[in-house]
């Protein structure tokens, strides 16, 4: 078994892979804050020779993250729901970018996206799980609440199929864009007994964002004996297209700009001080408090198990 396959199997199974690696230190704090921009937090970094994959590259935080990482020299593989949208976004960027189609509600599309990226034969230094939606009504995909599918299950499959490429990079990072709204998830946390959303769809966005945080936490455990890391973050309330259709009563004052919203994404994905930090949650470019549910390791492990069962046809 070659090294990459060994890393992949070890990460998925949570098995110790005997690689030399420093013990985790106390998570450092930065001088950046709420008003920092993605350009500011990456100032002075040279990302030439590195490859980033970011989902939802065609607008908002995703586009700004792609722009800044490419500006710093990284090759950015950006996903969008259609090739036209991906090409249009990449065409606006100075630097090396490659568009790939990804429809997160269609698990076959997720597989095809991962296969297209694997065919490029590159290690992935940054896998940034960013794409998202907000819904006001109850929608389902194959009997499952749609935001849970988009935010969690689609990204769960993509990560599984690319994880060996992340683990093979010198310092691979999986960066999951969660939300402070995870605190508003339904009582009891992840609704394992009814993932349809029928009785809790008004809190479905928060439910899916809690899933993001728990996924990132469990992944950090499964990567603990590799060089790869997994961290989650909240970009904060940002003025992007994800808010289209929301009533003004649901729009907070003083929204961040996309440049500010992308700052924590870029910070967690690139900053040298976080090279060995894993299993953390960030907001405004610093470690942040979380709900008890999002730090519940038993819930995280159960979510991983249930997600594996729901997607087994697409992750093997």
Q: Which residues are catalytic?
A: 205
Is residue 314 a contact partner of residue 157, using CB atoms and an 8 Å limit?
yes
Length of the chain in residues, anyone? 316
Output the CA angle 19-22-26, nearest 5 degrees: 145
First to last CA, the chain: 17
Tokens found for residue 286: 């610093």
Strands laid side by side in the 281-283 sheet: 97-101, 75-80, 51-55, 126-129, 173-177, 229-234, 281-283, 286-287
- Which of 25, 21, 29 is closest to 224 using CA atoms? 21
Tokens found for residue 106: 């269609």
């Amino acid at each position: 078994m070659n090294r990459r396959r060994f890393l992949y199997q070890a990460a998925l199974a949570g098995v110790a892979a005997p690689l030399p690696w420093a013990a985790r230190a106390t998570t450092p704090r930065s001088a950046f804050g709420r008003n920092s921009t993605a350009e500011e937090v990456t100032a002075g970094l040279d990302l030439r020779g590195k490859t980033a994959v970011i989902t939802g590259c065609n607008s908002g935080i995703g586009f700004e993250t792609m722009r800044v990482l490419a500006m710093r020299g990284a090759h950015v593989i950006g996903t969008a729901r259609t090739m036209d949208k991906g090409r249009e976004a990449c065409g606006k960027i100075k630097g090396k970018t490659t568009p790939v189609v990804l429809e997160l509600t269609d698990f076959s599309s997720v597989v095809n996206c991962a296969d297209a990226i694997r065919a490029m034969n590159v290690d992935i230094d940054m896998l940034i799980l960013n794409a998202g939606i907000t819904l006001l009504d109850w929608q389902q995909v194959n009997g499952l609440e749609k935001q849970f599918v988009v935010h969690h299950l689609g990204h769960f499959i993509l990560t599984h199929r690319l994880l060996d490429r992340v683990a093979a990079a010198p310092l691979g990072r999986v960066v999951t864009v969660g939300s402070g709204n995870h605190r508003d998830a339904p009582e009891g946390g992840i609704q394992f007994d009814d993932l349809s959303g029928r009785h809790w769809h008004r809190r479905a966005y928060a439910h899916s964002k809690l899933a993001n945080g728990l996924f990132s936490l469990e992944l950090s455990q499964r990567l603990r004996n590799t060089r790869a890391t997994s961290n989650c973050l909240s970009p904060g309330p940002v003025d992007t297209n994800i808010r289209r259709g929301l009533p003004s009563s649901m729009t907070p004052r003083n929204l961040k700009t996309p440049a500010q919203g992308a700052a924590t994404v870029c910070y967690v994905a690139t900053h040298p001080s976080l090279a060995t930090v894993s299993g953390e949650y960030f907001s405004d470019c610093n470690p942040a408090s979380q709900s008890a549910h999002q730090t519940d390791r038993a819930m995280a492990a159960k979510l991983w198990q249930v997600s594996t069962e729901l997607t087994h046809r697409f992750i093997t």
